[in-house]
Structure 1
């Protein structure tokens, strides 16, 4: 599997050094990802005590008292990078974690690349460069101490920020920080062996945990500034509609209202110049209410009488269902991969199995609704809020307002849930247009209803999977996808079982809808894993072979060294399968425990999951999921376990209950009274196991979600005898009934 090597090299010019800090500190700034941009220059002398971290990005700050501050540049969306990325630097720097302070960096495209929270790639892409910056800083400090003692640096050792020479003399980092600042940045610094780790691999609490549990200001919703007003926006009540006219006289008379106006002209101009924006921002004008509080703004908005007209078709779920079926039955597909001759293999097959799997639209259901702060002045555009793509969003705002990129100052807050929704900064772009027109600092806030009614949803998809069997072996496999809107987040043609079956084809088709869709947690795979893994279980039943052995036999056929397109490792996949069988007690549980198995690869990580279901009061009840993960080196086991469990539970909840339907272009649910999420009583125990192989880290925020639905579906099949082909599973309650003989038993 290929990797992006541009992230793995350390460029000496990417270090920022200041040898004359008045406070006696050493400032080492480093591009935590690419470290290859040539424009990085040293900052002017500054008093360390008055250092404002917003003036810098991605650096280590060492004070003369030995305290270390590490700035984390990536958005923190609950995946823990604000803790784990500084842990990597601190490990190679060899300081005591208790002496490390962590701060959130701001957007800085001069010093950073890939300041993104998406795709579970932050640690994977930053791994080598993060270690190198810590190791280089450590070597500079050791060299300074060695020079003071008149010894060779090789004679010195370091432990938790204390340097010791062969004679037993010691100096702290703070003692030599001024001298170290005078030295050249070293090249080719050796890195620690995994056996030498003191910080990585140890359970480490989230650096923000105290602030989170005590309600300190961290999130976008918490941000306030002097003179700020609140904005609430009235948008079209259904997709495909636009504003005709409105009467705001009653709203203007309400307490706290500052102003009411429309936005849309600049946004329309942006959608015309930036194609990506057209799929996430309506062409209609929108009505903005500015008030002294969110409550006053939202209350006044309800008093506005607006007239809307339909300009494009008002779509409904029933129509989508028919359209997707028609696409699957048709022949207008884009072929993403084609091996061998699928048509001939099916004609020659002894047995053929074909099944269709269906999934609905899903909202992102972030705990923190969309919000963003904007203040547009002649000097700069100040943006603050929760965003997964700060650089892209800042670029859109610059184009919207006709400003230079350097005019945009964007600060990232902690994000109260993203799951892909905050990849799309339409709410930040709206805030900027509102602030530009209002000439005031503005905080735009969505209500929960607005969040769900004007969302960017996981698309509705249908998969049709067909397999052929000849002489007891799988000889043909054909996967078709029909999706509402872009197939950008659809099929992944080079994941398993690519390379495992001689005649293999993957096709995709789409229907263009005016309903906005985009990435939803674990894009590409969040529904495909369930469909594929349910299908393999049924295929094993048809072939009358062991379900797990079928998967292992197929993996034996994969030769990644002969096919560079293959993105997964058959050996690593077989290992997670082996451990999952062992840890889950597969096939060894009492008769009343029904198990379902899956294995899957996505986001560069291999996962196997086993679901345990028991019969209670005549119904199958999910009790436990055993999850085995190969994500390489685990930087923070505590945080990693949280990610695994959260992903599994999210996958269980949405496969069981999640569904957002549309009628006449409008969602049928706009709050959690009608949209069902996983509840505590429904949550299974999640038992987590990591494969310890010493390999570089891969993704972890998303890979455990996709397999969960398949594990549950296969366990329910074992318990009820019924195969599930639609999500959510509760939509077909008749298939969740346990046979009478099972109840009696």
Structure 2
């Protein structure tokens, strides 16, 4: 990755969420101050001798190759195909000529959509458009190149369309000047410029001239459907290299004179290194050195296995300050939070008091354990540190913040650190943290040679930043016709996103970030709890808590537990009202036809029998950031194992650019949700997880999963992100299915016992 100009970097480090959003006066002052800050940023791309930089998202080679610049991290979600497809469609490119290059760190690629979702609070909402603008400016000027939350396409769709349209206009102008015709008469299809007659020209033949032309005030977009790429199931650009093994992930990097490292970081919490056996490690063939820091120790060797074996023999001992995290303590803390003084009503509609007064109320309690990421690729980074600066190869969902943290750790200015962003072998949010890059850089500096640091799977599980554990107390009143007249959700949970921001943006240690968020009541912790149904009187209360377990960004984030609470409780109410579960939902979705359509489609395709006793059928519905979905499952127990015979999903996510990739993401989300429901979580005791081997986590096997069907509902709405959409729906759908199978309601996750 090319080095970006350093602008206001020292000052930006001080712009924490607290200083930015602490109050109206502070925010108003920043609005005035930012009004005079520079706003113009030029692309900081590197170009080869035959390449022309068209704009921040596009380079074109004289050979005709279309090089699309992508700022988002590819984690298997297909973003390095979908975003180029948008640009290539508007340009009129031949898909066979399209290539992808990762973007350098620059304000031009800031994801202010995710920043707004992440940083919005009561103050910014009170300021309205001004508060929204302030977060957007902060994101841009801090170069918050964040990947996550399914925001890639909604955030960058228009930018890539404009980039393609701009290139098409400039190329048409250049060709028209050679032909002596009006540029408006020219067009580009399949990579060839034509004037509507017999004359044709390759894109590469005029790209040098195109850069000298000027764009019109209003960009004309392509009309008609002939030769369009958008909406087509085009092959992924990253598939060939992943099939033939040439695709480089972090563990594939090889540098001259490079050595390998493994690491130990102690139990969860405020742990410091207390001692180890230096001499025992020296007996391993290939061992080179132990590198010690206050909170971790790494072994360096000529190969990773020797490094990891040396650590085993060194047997490092850590001192834990404070009480060790345990699941029993987590449960007690969450229950105690309901009686605390930090609870706050975050959503409210109508008046619940008169509805609940003197009425018969259905009340249920739910709980979920923390869910692990368990990505295919454990954290890994390669570093080379010299007197001139540092180079880091790693997969990161926050490259700007990772580079700044590495620079701070090394005592270097930001421009002295070059970060090469790599694709991730999965992530689900785990790569939002950058600690492996900092550790690799420090070890490389100590060794004086390039180092590749690879965490073991055990270390990955112990040091994971899982999704939040949560408890919920749900209450509702039904009317005589079965309609819900009042709904109250009380949720005790720490906020994983607040903790993640403290670590990623402010450099807080994990245990410190958890403590700082202990009394922060926020909508981020109860996302998915606002019911999508037409309930006249409802409210959601959040009770924050410090459970002693550092938490992190996760696929679906708080929607994972919020949707489980909401859709399980809706199912309970349907059975109490003696109304079939799908019809019970449909009758309250008159103002939400897209979600109602998803529900009826999933039920029709799945052969819904009404969830009758013994059917093993369950259903759930949800909407997230402009996307709508319903999931129906058929499930039962085979001995002590859950067997899911069928999963049917109906999704309305707008006009998808590449429907096949969207379908892949939905299928992946369904399996991720199944793992979350059954075993992607562990209990904790003594500051450590009680299980750390994947085979003992009750994760779903191929034999446990039957038919998976996905129906993409046609829509002309803007394309929405689908990465996070269906994963939260699987757990409540299975819980509801097991109720119809057994007659017993399961109100906790994981749904089945673990070995």
Please indicate the TM-score interval, normalised by the length of the shorter structure: 0.7 to 0.9
C-alpha separation in 2, matches of 1:446 and 1:620: 31
Q: For 1:358-377, what aligned pairs fall within 5 Å after superposition? A: 358-377=367-386
Partner residue in 2 for 1:673? 695
Partner residue in 2 for 1:20? none
> How far has the Cα of 1:410 moved from its partner?
0.8
| Conservation of the 8 A alpha-carbon contact between 1:620 and 1:716 | no
Partner residue in 2 for 1:542? 576
Partner residue in 2 for 1:425? 434
Q: CA deviation digits over 1:477-513, x for unaligned, max 9?
A: 1111112555668544686426732322211123213
| Candidates 429, 449, 461, aligned match of 1:452 | 461
| Candidates 155, 158, 179, aligned match of 2:185 | 155
| Candidates 301, 304, 315, aligned match of 2:311 | 301
SS, match of residue 643 in structure 1: helix
| Conservation of the 8 A alpha-carbon contact between 1:464 and 1:481 | yes
| Candidates 545, 553, 559, aligned match of 1:525 | 559
> How far has the Cα of 1:678 moved from its partner?
1.4
With over 3 angstroms needed to count, the CA separation of the structure-2 counterparts of 1:37 and 1:133, relative to structure 1, is farther
| Conservation of the 8 A alpha-carbon contact between 2:276 and 2:315 | yes
Partner residue in 2 for 1:94? 92
With over 3 angstroms needed to count, the CA separation of the structure-2 counterparts of 1:239 and 1:415, relative to structure 1, is same
The 10-residue stretch of structure 1 (493-502 or 674-683) with the greater mean CA deviation from structure 2:
493-502
1:340 maps to 2:350: yes
C-alpha separation in 2, matches of 1:580 and 1:546: 15
With over 3 angstroms needed to count, the CA separation of the structure-2 counterparts of 1:595 and 1:193, relative to structure 1, is farther
Partner residue in 1 for 2:109? 112
With over 3 angstroms needed to count, the CA separation of the structure-2 counterparts of 1:440 and 1:675, relative to structure 1, is same
| Candidates 574, 596, 604, aligned match of 2:626 | 604
- What is the TM-score with the length of structure 1 in the denominator? 0.83
1:579 maps to 2:601: yes
C-alpha separation in 1, matches of 2:572 and 2:100: 50
Q: CA deviation digits over 1:445-478, x for unaligned, max 9?
A: 1011111112112222111111112343322111
1:719 maps to 2:741: yes
> How far has the Cα of 1:518 moved from its partner?
1.6
> How far has the Cα of 1:442 moved from its partner?
1.7
| Candidates 36, 39, 42, aligned match of 2:41 | 39
> How far has the Cα of 1:720 moved from its partner?
1.7
Q: For 1:321-340, what aligned pairs fall within 5 Å after superposition? A: 321-328=331-338, 332-340=342-350
> How far has the Cα of 1:214 moved from its partner?
2.1
> How far has the Cα of 1:436 moved from its partner?
3.0
SS, match of residue 444 in structure 2: helix
| Conservation of the 8 A alpha-carbon contact between 1:603 and 1:702 | no
1:439 maps to 2:436: no
The 10-residue stretch of structure 1 (499-508 or 473-482) with the greater mean CA deviation from structure 2:
499-508
Partner residue in 2 for 1:256? 286
Q: CA deviation digits over 1:553-611, x for unaligned, max 9?
A: 3333x5xxxxxxxxxxx232223223223333323899975421111012432111111
With over 3 angstroms needed to count, the CA separation of the structure-2 counterparts of 1:190 and 1:663, relative to structure 1, is same
> How far has the Cα of 1:429 moved from its partner?
1.9
> How far has the Cα of 1:551 moved from its partner?
2.2
| Conservation of the 8 A alpha-carbon contact between 1:239 and 1:666 | no
C-alpha separation in 2, matches of 1:45 and 1:628: 44
Report the count of equivalent residues: 660
Partner residue in 2 for 1:310? 320
C-alpha separation in 2, matches of 1:294 and 1:57: 42
| Conservation of the 8 A alpha-carbon contact between 2:150 and 2:722 | yes
| Candidates 139, 146, 151, aligned match of 2:169 | 139
With over 3 angstroms needed to count, the CA separation of the structure-2 counterparts of 1:76 and 1:331, relative to structure 1, is same
The 10-residue stretch of structure 1 (38-47 or 591-600) with the greater mean CA deviation from structure 2:
38-47
The 10-residue stretch of structure 1 (165-174 or 387-396) with the greater mean CA deviation from structure 2:
165-174
| Conservation of the 8 A alpha-carbon contact between 2:617 and 2:737 | yes
C-alpha separation in 2, matches of 1:70 and 1:731: 48
Partner residue in 1 for 2:661? 639
> How far has the Cα of 1:47 moved from its partner?
1.6
1:705 maps to 2:703: no
> How far has the Cα of 1:258 moved from its partner?
2.1
C-alpha separation in 1, matches of 2:702 and 2:718: 35
C-alpha separation in 1, matches of 2:55 and 2:422: 15
C-alpha separation in 2, matches of 1:684 and 1:478: 36
Partner residue in 1 for 2:11? none
Partner residue in 2 for 1:33? none
1:319 maps to 2:353: no
| Conservation of the 8 A alpha-carbon contact between 2:189 and 2:227 | no
Partner residue in 1 for 2:241? 211
> How far has the Cα of 1:255 moved from its partner?
2.2
With over 3 angstroms needed to count, the CA separation of the structure-2 counterparts of 1:617 and 1:658, relative to structure 1, is closer
Q: For 1:437-586, what aligned pairs fall within 5 Å after superposition? A: 437-472=446-481, 473-484=483-494, 486=517, 491-492=525-526, 496-497=530-531, 500-556=534-590, 570-586=592-608
| Conservation of the 8 A alpha-carbon contact between 2:529 and 2:562 | no
Give 5+ residue unaligned stretches, structure 2.
Answer: 1-37, 112-144, 495-513
Give 5+ residue unaligned stretches, structure 1.
Answer: 1-35, 265-284, 559-569, 734-745
| Conservation of the 8 A alpha-carbon contact between 2:616 and 2:740 | yes
1:394 maps to 2:392: no
With over 3 angstroms needed to count, the CA separation of the structure-2 counterparts of 1:97 and 1:615, relative to structure 1, is same
> How far has the Cα of 1:42 moved from its partner?
8.3
With over 3 angstroms needed to count, the CA separation of the structure-2 counterparts of 1:48 and 1:620, relative to structure 1, is closer
SS, match of residue 206 in structure 1: coil
C-alpha separation in 2, matches of 1:110 and 1:509: 36
C-alpha separation in 2, matches of 1:555 and 1:412: 44
With over 3 angstroms needed to count, the CA separation of the structure-2 counterparts of 1:480 and 1:594, relative to structure 1, is same
SS, match of residue 695 in structure 1: coil
1:685 maps to 2:695: no
- What is the TM-score with the length of structure 2 in the denominator? 0.82
With over 3 angstroms needed to count, the CA separation of the structure-2 counterparts of 1:294 and 1:154, relative to structure 1, is same
C-alpha separation in 2, matches of 1:341 and 1:489: 20
> How far has the Cα of 1:612 moved from its partner?
2.4
| Conservation of the 8 A alpha-carbon contact between 1:82 and 1:102 | yes
Q: CA deviation digits over 1:342-390, x for unaligned, max 9?
A: 23321143x3111111111222111111111122223222111111111
| Conservation of the 8 A alpha-carbon contact between 1:346 and 1:352 | yes
| Conservation of the 8 A alpha-carbon contact between 1:620 and 1:719 | no
Partner residue in 1 for 2:81? 83
SS, match of residue 652 in structure 1: helix
Aligned alpha-carbon RMSD (Å)? 2.8
With over 3 angstroms needed to count, the CA separation of the structure-2 counterparts of 1:673 and 1:44, relative to structure 1, is closer
Q: For 1:234-249, what aligned pairs fall within 5 Å after superposition? A: 234-249=264-279
With over 3 angstroms needed to count, the CA separation of the structure-2 counterparts of 1:235 and 1:178, relative to structure 1, is closer
> How far has the Cα of 1:679 moved from its partner?
0.7
Partner residue in 1 for 2:258? 228
| Conservation of the 8 A alpha-carbon contact between 2:527 and 2:558 | no
Q: CA deviation digits over 1:61-108, x for unaligned, max 9?
A: 3233323222322110111001111111100110110122223x1432
